[in-house]
Amino acid sequence: MLLKSSLFILLLVNIFTSNLIILSAILIVVLILNLTLNKNLKKHIRQLKILLFFYLSTFLIQLYYGQQGKVLFKFYSFYITQEGLINFGVSFIRILNLILMSWLINEMKLLTGRFSKYQKIIDTVIDLVPEVFILFKKRMKA
């Protein structure tokens, strides 16, 4: 019960804060919990490699559109600003935290009561999302 409450608090803080230090601390805590409690971590990490490219490309687009603020680097007409990097980091760490928390919830079977019927849905989504990207990649090559 304590793990469930702690994850719920971490989830709320993860959603409602934009502080990079707090989000990084949550990432470390959730990563340690996954290393100790998640038996299928290697399988999940293999699935994450496919999604990581999608997330990084999305965040790079976000970095490109965050052109206002203090300029750190200039590459032709492309500016990398401090605010853009902070937004990039916050979004990337927030999504990574949500993924790691969902792995913990799924592995520990923390959804009980009226939410237990959604456990199968979460299992299916976690397993099939990487497959969608593989199928998409195969279709694009053909």
CA distances from 49 to 13, 29, 43, 55, 95 (A): 26, 21, 10, 10, 14
Looking at residue 123, what is its pLDDT?
65
Query: Poorest-confidence range of 8-17, 69-78, 90-99, 132-141?
Result: 132-141
Q: How many CB atoms lie within 10 A of CB 106?
A: 19
pTM recorded for the entire structure: 0.71
Question: What one-character DSSP code corresponds to residue 115?
Answer: G
Over residues 14-65, the pLDDT tens digits come to: 888 889 999 999 999 999 988 888 887 887 777 777 677 777 777 777 777 7
The residues facing 81 across adjacent strands are 71
